Amino acid sequence: MSGKQQGPLAGVRILDLTSVLMGPYATQIFADLGADVIKVESPEGDTTRYLPPGPDASRGGMFLNVNRGKRSIVLDLKRPEAKDALLAIAGTCDVFVHSMRAQAIARLGLDYPAIRAVNERIIYANLYGFARSGPYRDYPAYDDIVQAASGLVDLQARLSNGEPTYLGTVVADKVAGLTGAYAVMAALFARERTGIGQEIEIPMFETLVSFAMVEHLCGSLFSPPLGPPEYPRVTSPARRPYATKDGHIGVMIYNDKHWRAFFDAMGNPEWSRDPMFASMRSRTENITRVLARVADVMGERTTEEWLDLFRDAHIPAMAIASTSDLLHDPHLVKTGFWQEQETDMGTLRFPGIPTSFSETPGAIGEPGPALGAHSRDILAEAGLDAASIEQLIESGAVRTDG
């Protein structure tokens, strides 16, 4: 058992057969909140292990972060004895989570019926590209593919002169990972009430479509439609950071109170009396003209001058920050968001847990483990004796870090 028992999920054991980013991000959240996460890897290891940079060729920075607080066991699941060992481990776990396509997990003999046969209370989570009830079920999926299919790339094109672009973050992987985390926690809560385990499906495509259409379904919510599936303020080509005299600034002059405060701060110029600024409806109907008019005046002052004005007027505004800026952001430094650890990989700086708990705070665990570092311990916890464990290692069904 992992030595760390801190957080609201302390005592929960997760059997993690995920790789790359979607699933590991979900299970990173579990580990941060105190769960014992057992990361099952093939002899080759999770592919993100080998993404540079990093002082160790098999543990790059992304891997070390997204797999923090987990334990690694290597099982060659094409071998029957390794599958038997996995089933023994599954019998001791609360959650089984994988990120393989439905056909692949079934071929391994590790689908929900197989796992439930050894643990009726298991929460079994499928994280993959497309729901298995639809025609896309066997398509391979990565973040870029799901961004393209979900409508996000088309939405981005409207902001970049018609040129399709991806978001500058792996949003599909992370939104699906977050969704998987809350779905598993909801199922664990239901099991506390009913005593019954269950199977969960978290498909990336459906998850990201749901995410995108929160605001964009708009007029198409109605049948017949009252308008296209589009939130005009968000898709307006004029919606972009404003150029100031010396840089750029993000500003959200949104509700009636904000606009009144803005015009008061500006001395109520003549254009403030234009009827298109009078209400949320009129501004939305003329959003591109509204935003363009604001852009015209933003170049008259420096970024700092605008920030002072907007803060005095209680209008949301921030300077444009780079990812490098965030490492030294005064708010993040003050709140202790960045956490340094001395580890076997040197001094590492982790992003902290964004949520806080007054009674059961989580904790950042050790960096992503060496491949197979905990194989012996995990097998022993599953009830295998020392001779059986050594036999598995000698046969190649199990690998350790040495």
Q: Give pLDDT tens digits for 168-198.
A: 999 999 999 999 999 999 999 999 999 999 9
pLDDT band at 161; cut points 50, 70, 90: confident
Q: What is the pTM of this model?
A: 0.93
Mean pLDDT of 253-268: 94
Q: Do 281 and 381 share a domain, yes or no?
A: no
Residues 71-121: pLDDT tens digits? Answer: 999 999 999 999 999 999 999 999 999 999 999 999 999 999 999 999 999
Q: In the listed set 285, 319, 353, which residue is the last one of a domain according to the structure?
A: 319
* Domain-located, residue 129: yes
Kindly state whether residue 2 falls inside one of the protein's structural domains: no
Report the CATH number that the domain containing residue 246 is assigned in CATH: 3.30.1540.10
Q: Which two tokens stand for residue 279?
A: 């209400």
DSSP letters spanning 166-177: --SS-HHHHHHH
What are the tens digits of pLDDT across the range 3-38? 457 899 999 999 999 999 999 999 999 999 999 999
Residue 152 and residue 291 share a domain: no
41 plus 143 within the same structural domain = yes
Tell whether 216 is covered by a domain: no
For residue 299, what are the domain limits?
242-319
CATH number at residue 394: 3.40.50.10540
Please state the three-class secondary structure of 35-98 as a single string: CEEEEEECCCCCHHHHCCCCCECCECHHHHHHCCCEEEEEECCCCHHHHHHHHHHHCCCCEEEE
- Residue 234 domain-assigned? no
Q: Which of 292, 319, 346 is the last residue of a domain?
A: 319
Residue 191, domain member (yes or no)? yes
In a domain, 374, yes or no: yes
pLDDT attached to residue 274: 95
Which among 319, 353, 387 is the end of a domain? Answer: 319
pLDDT in tens, 277-303: 999 999 999 999 999 999 999 999 999
Compute the mean pLDDT over every residue in the chain, rounded to the nearest whole number.
Answer: 95
Based on the structure, what is the number of domains in the chain?
A: 2
Angle at 41 between CA 383 and CA 199, to 5 degrees: 75
- Model pLDDT for residues 191-224, shown as the tens digit of each residue: 999 999 999 999 999 999 999 999 999 999 999 9
Helix axes 143-150 and 171-194, enclosed angle (nearest 10): 90
Is there a contact between 86 and 75 (Cβ–Cβ < 8 Å)? Answer: yes
How far apart, in whole angstroms, are the C-alpha atoms of residue 368 and residue 366? 7
What's the pLDDT tens digit per position in 363-396? 999 999 999 999 999 999 999 999 999 999 999 9
Residue 402 in this model has a pLDDT that exceeds 80: no
**pLDDT score for 4:** 56
Burial of 129 from C-beta contacts in 10 A (0-12 / 13-18 / 19+): buried
In a domain, residue 222? The reply is no
Q: Tell me, yes or no, whether 189 and 278 share the same domain.
A: no
